[in-house]
Amino acid sequence: MAMSVEEVEAAIIEKAKKAPKPQLYIKDFYKCAPDMKPRQIKKIANKLVEKGELMFWSSGSTTMYARPDRIKDEEGAEGIN
Amino acid sequence: MAKHDTPMLDELEKGPWPSFVTDMKRQAETHPECWDILGQLELSYEDRITHWKHGGIVGVFGYGGGIVGRYSDVPDRFPGVEHFHTVRVNQPAGLYYSTENLRALMDLWDKYGSGMTNMHGSTGDMILLGTRTENLEPLFWDLTHDLGQDLGGSGSNLRTPSCCLGESRCEWACYDTQDICYALTMHYQDEIHRPAFPYKFKFKFSGCANDCVAAIARSDFAVIGTWKDDIQIDQAAVKEYVAGNYPANGGAHKDGDWGPFNLKKEVIDLCPTQCMWMEGDELKIDNSECNRCMHCINVMPRALRPGKEKGATICIGAKAPILDGAQFATMIIPFIEVSKDNEYENIIDVIERIWDWWMEVGKNRERVGETMQRVGLPTFLSVMEVEPIPQHVKEPRSNPYVFWKEEEVPGGFERDIVEFRKRHAA
């Protein structure tokens, strides 16, 4: 049975909490909902940014996702890489 | 009064050419932080290493692009560039500005930033260089609310689409580049402002094969105007060119000492497919051999024009050198109609077919052109549901192995893979 949006959101948050590195590529979230199309997962991840559960982290050329608390814990409040 | 000694940078002010060092010293008179850019750059020349750090979490709320974080790694020595973020502003289609708009933008940037700009970035954005994190939200508010402009793309987003000036000034435009550029910019707002892909993705729209925005060299998805039928010839105008009554190249080289116009030497002999010849005083073209290079049309614009059945060629996968070196885009769809009547539905369909595949198959930080190279053109064509044609072939194959799918062979074939693997382990 296909996962609900809420279930996918929970799986993405869990992944972002437990991944070895705080910054994740959008592809890293695909396995959270194997039956869902990547563009749908991207939309859910971006909604989580709006809700404050995730934040964008940019290397300048690539944009990644991270849990705000992990970025602050591991990089300092400025998030400087 | 210079804040730092910059003997090496001062060398770059010598000579007859314009100097960015002189420009920055002038800018430092009103924005003292510009002294610190020069000081840090001088230090980089001494140390032979950059002192910029980039990346981090800077941006405006809800956007995952448009701002590129920049920090100094020696902020104690150069506090003016402790934060020196770059802001990308989405340019108007065809780069048409009013002076009023440019003045308003510069006033905004004087207020919130260093006043330094880079016009334009590779995607056409106006690049505003150097501001602090706390200025980003107020700048964004004024930009969007007072000027009605928006940020462009950065990171793994759809980058700001760009186009040539198209039908607004150019008689050769085969479709309305500005309209499609604007329409797709609005259609894909989410993809421009928030990360969506394994890596960056660029659209560029050129109205003809002169390709004034260099779409074929710089964009993942190049839409280049072309025509299906024959080049239109005005034989009376051809005679006028031959007689020297019309200036060749629209008069662009009239001050050069090139002698009288020589149609054979300057047009026929330079045709890359040798598809032109004279019969008496009439110019003939074998249009089936024409590869739309535009040379003859450029030289004799009053005699030759693109055909009447216009559209575009779609080329995919250009990129600058990061992994495998620079590459041009590959022609995938030789002709597609470009019409605002269907809101560019057919173009959107092609774009989303690429995205759906690339988002799954592309590796992190892999441009679509690199993914195409990795899987091979036949696989990519099959994904795009495009029938291979001779124009897809660059050269005779050097790989002697030919793999057939069952449906490609008349009568098909049967193979029990389990039985096969018993004898040949994978």
What residue spans define the domains of chain B?
Answer: 7-145, 162-227+310-392, 232-305
Note the pLDDT of residue B192.
95
Note the pLDDT of residue B379.
93
pLDDT digits (tens, 9 = 90+) for B77-104: 999 999 999 999 999 999 999 999 999 9
Residue B204 belongs to what H/E stretch? strand B203-206
Note the pLDDT of residue B417.
86
Instruction: For residue B141, give the nearest of B57, B56, B60, B58 by alpha carbon.
Output: B60
Q: Which of A43, A65, A81 sits opposite B56 (nearest CB)?
A: A81
Q: Check residues B40 and A75 and name the one with the higher pLDDT.
A: B40
Give helix B99-112 / helix B133-145 axis angle, nearest 10°. Answer: 160
CA distance A29 to chain B (A): 11
- Nearest residue in chain B measured CA to CA from A65: B195
Note the pLDDT of residue B407.
85
- Domain B7-145 identical in fold to domain B162-227+310-392: no
> What number is the average pLDDT over the span B254-271?
90
- Nearest residue in chain B measured CA to CA from A81: B56
Residue B197 has pLDDT above 70, yes or no: yes
B54 CB within 8 Å of a chain A CB: yes
Mutate to test the interface with B, among A58, A59, A73 (most CBs of B within 10 A): A58
Cα B302 → chain centroid: 29
> What number is the average pLDDT over the span B419-425?
88
Q: Which of A46, A65, A79 sits opposite B56 (nearest CB)?
A: A79
Single-letter code of the amino acid located at A37: K
Residue A80 has pLDDT above 60, yes or no: no
B72 CB within 8 Å of a chain A CB: no
Q: Which residues of B touch A55 (CB under 8 A)?
A: 57
Q: Which two tokens stand for residue B405?
A: 């799918």
Hunting for tokens 């430092």 — which residue is that? Answer: B28
B383 CB within 8 Å of a chain A CB: no
B169 CB within 8 Å of a chain A CB: no
pTM for this entry:
0.90
Q: Is the peptide bond before B392 cis (omega within 30 degrees of 0)?
A: no
Note the pLDDT of residue B168.
96
CB neighbours of residue B373 within 10 Å: 18
Q: Which residues of A touch B366 (CB under 8 A)?
A: none
pLDDT digits (tens, 9 = 90+) for B185-194: 999 999 999 9
Report residue B306's pLDDT band, with 50, 70 and 90 as the boundaries. Answer: very high
Fold of the domain spanning B7-145 = Alpha-Beta Plaits (3.30.70)
Q: Which of A58, A71, A79 sits opposite B155 (nearest CB)?
A: A58
Domain spanning B232-305 has what CATH number?
3.30.70.20
Q: Which residues pair with B68 in a beta bridge?
A: B86
Tell me how far apart the alpha carbons of residues B111 and B322 are, in angstroms, rounded to a whole number: 36
Q: B118-132, B139-153, B184-198, B404-418: lowest mean pLDDT where?
A: B404-418
Instruction: For residue B66, give the nearest of B242, B227, B191 by alpha carbon.
Output: B191
> What number is the average pLDDT over the span B17-29?
94
CB contact under 8 A, B64 and A49: yes
Q: Check residues B120 and B371 and name the one with the higher pLDDT.
A: B371
> What number is the average pLDDT over the span B387-402?
87
CA distances from B229 to B233, B292, B335, B382 (A): 12, 11, 11, 27
ipTM over 0.90: no
Q: Which residues of A touch B359 (CB under 8 A)?
A: 26-27, 38-39, 42
What is the Cα gyration radius of chain A?
12
> What number is the average pLDDT over the span B197-219?
95
Q: Which of A39, A60, A64 sits opposite B359 (nearest CB)?
A: A39
CATH of A5-74, one of 1.10.10.10, 3.40.50.300, 1.10.260.40, 1.20.810.10: 1.10.10.10
B57 CB within 8 Å of a chain A CB: yes
> What number is the average pLDDT over the span B127-152?
96
Q: Which two tokens stand for residue B267?
A: 């047009």
Percent of chain B exceeding pLDDT 90 equals 80
- Nearest residue in chain B measured CA to CA from A56: B64
Report residue A72's pLDDT band, with 50, 70 and 90 as the boundaries. Answer: low
Q: Which residues of A touch B62 (CB under 8 A)?
A: 49-50
Q: Which of A25, A37, A58 sits opposite B356 (nearest CB)?
A: A37
Fold of the domain spanning B162-227+310-392 = Sulfite Reductase Hemoprotein; domain 1 (3.30.413)
